[in-house]
Amino acid sequence: MINKQHITNRFLKYVKIDTESDPHNPAFPSTEKQWDLAKVLVEELKQIGMQDVDLDANCYIMATLPSNIDFDVPTIGFVAHIDTSPDFTGKDVKPQIIDNYDGKDIVLNKEQNIILSPNYFDDLLQYKGQTLITTDGTTLLGADDKAGVTEIITAMEYLIQHPEIKHGKIRICFTPDEEVGKGAHLFDVDKFGAAWAYTMDGSQIGELEYENFNAASAIVTITGKIVHPGYAKGKMINSVLIANEFIAALPQNEIPQETEGYEGFFHLHDIKGNVEETVLEYIIRDHDFNLFENRKKLMIKIASDFNKKHHQELIKVQLKDQYFNMKEKITPVMHIVNIAEDVMKDLGIKPLIKAIRGGTDGSQLSFKGLPCPNIFAGGHNFHGRFEYVPVESMMKAVEVIVGIAEKVTTFHKK
């Protein structure tokens, strides 16, 4: 159905374009280099025959595949993001192709002894005999979410080339800055004009998700007082030591590496400090809204208790909500999940319906009035040097998109 070399070449072209976003820049997009891929995609969408191709002032790309049927069905959409994570460099990506993977260690970088091993990443064994695209060990790959971009464009191209496959109107959008939590902030839902959509931003083949974390960020600023250490008794306040106490006061087992499933966590992802000032940057996650709220309250209480103990305001906590669990917006329209699940089953793909231990543009879009479950894009080990994607998984994702487009016509046909 889908040409393997064609989808591989398309994906390789995209990942070689650096689109790393910047969490510290409030601009849209947060990095100018995201425009580089956006402009390439605009031209490609026009070349394959998409209509209404538009790149707006904030780097959102929208386009239309017109209906080819003579009855009305809901307009649906597909969404992916063009930026890559600032957690690990996406500059000078040098992808490697592993044909007919044999289930053994993959040497990503011989000089630096970087090895992608099934002994550690046992998901690799699912893909014996398949074609894997990996990094060279020095960058991330960018399958999150350039695999999703690749799949959506390839699916639209396939539908255009095969008019015998009947479908209603389809809208697509590629967003900037998803990795820094802003991907849906300036998304124009009315302009998009879809009844619902799907983000192609999941991981392994079969993933179908309509629940995600409630998410917040926390910046904890600890103020100290520096004096000469030889004369510091009763005078010095070492903010680094207070930061250590603050960290220890949070539940020690409620961290990413100790949690799974529906369990939430506090994640300290950055720390900068000296005697005079230390800044801790956290993300807070929980699927349950009440537990999520309690996590934020706990951080504030710990800070308050420390301040009372020291009789001055040494610790300040700045909290910011990022996104919420889309389950409450999807549950009333569960048929949109059922359609995707049925298509996967028809294609012989086992649906893996589970909660996302993270977030996608879909979570924010659902709260903006565009219900938006998440479908696998095929990649593994996102945001790091061990990222990889099986080409066969991308091909299956294309088939799922095409299948959903076709299924909607039969599901809603009177």
303-356 pLDDT, tens digit per residue, is 999 999 889 999 999 999 988 999 999 999 999 999 999 999 999 999 999 888
Beta-carbon contacts of residue 154 (< 8 Å; ≥ 6 apart): 2, 6, 7, 10, 394, 398
Q: Residue for token digits 């998410």?
A: 215
**Would you call the peptide bond into 29 cis, given omega within 30 degrees of 0 as the criterion?**
yes
Q: CB–CB of 199/372 below 8 Å? A: yes
A 10 A CB-CB count for 64 gives 20
DSSP code for 292: H
- Cα distances (Å, whole numbers) of residue 53 to 18, 44, 47, 160, 173: 23, 10, 11, 15, 10
**Which residues are annotated as catalytic?**
83, 178
253-295 pLDDT, tens digit per residue, is 999 999 999 999 999 999 999 999 999 999 999 999 999 999 9
Which tokens in the block code for residue 294? 């309690």
When the candidates are 3.40.640.10, 3.20.20.80, 3.40.630.10, 3.10.560.10, the CATH number that belongs to 4-212+325-412 is: 3.40.630.10
Nearest to 317, CA basis, from 306, 328, 331, 330: 306
18-39 pLDDT, tens digit per residue, is 999 999 999 999 999 999 999 9
Q: Which long-range contacts link 38-45 to residues 24+ away (Cβ below 8 Å)? A: 38/82, 38/174, 38/176, 40/13, 40/14, 41/82, 41/149, 41/153, 41/174, 44/153, 45/153, 45/156
What confidence score (pLDDT) does residue 310 get? 87
Over residues 371-397, mean pLDDT: 97
Which tokens in the block code for residue 412? 């809603």
What confidence score (pLDDT) does residue 412 get? 57
Over residues 74-79, mean pLDDT: 98
173-197 pLDDT, tens digit per residue, is 999 999 998 999 999 999 999 999 9
Which run of H or of E encompasses 246? helix 239-249
350-363 pLDDT, tens digit per residue, is 999 988 887 778 88
pLDDT-derived band of residue 414, with 50, 70 and 90 as boundaries? very low
Percent of the chain residues topping a pLDDT of 70: 99
397-411 pLDDT, tens digit per residue, is 999 999 999 999 987
When the candidates are 2.60.40.1260, 3.40.462.10, 3.30.70.360, 1.10.287.10, the CATH number that belongs to 214-322 is: 3.30.70.360
Q: For residue 413, is pLDDT > 80?
A: no
Q: Where are the domains of the chain?
A: 4-212+325-412, 214-322
Nearest to 192, CA basis, from 28, 74, 309, 328: 74
What confidence score (pLDDT) does residue 195 get? 97
- Cα distances (Å, whole numbers) of residue 300 to 219, 269, 296, 314: 11, 18, 7, 13
Beta-carbon contacts of residue 388 (< 8 Å; ≥ 6 apart): 116, 124, 132, 133, 134, 135, 141, 143, 379, 380, 381
Nearest to 276, CA basis, from 209, 333, 330, 226: 226
State the Cα–Cα distance between residues 284 and 400, nearest whole angstrom. 33
State the Cα–Cα distance between residues 242 and 229, nearest whole angstrom. 17
Over residues 212-240, mean pLDDT: 93
Q: CB–CB of 380/141 below 8 Å? A: no
Q: Which residues partner with 106 through β-bridges? A: 116
Q: For residue 47, is pLDDT > 70?
A: yes
**This prediction's pTM:** 0.88
97-145 pLDDT, tens digit per residue, is 999 999 999 999 999 999 999 999 999 999 999 999 999 999 999 999 9
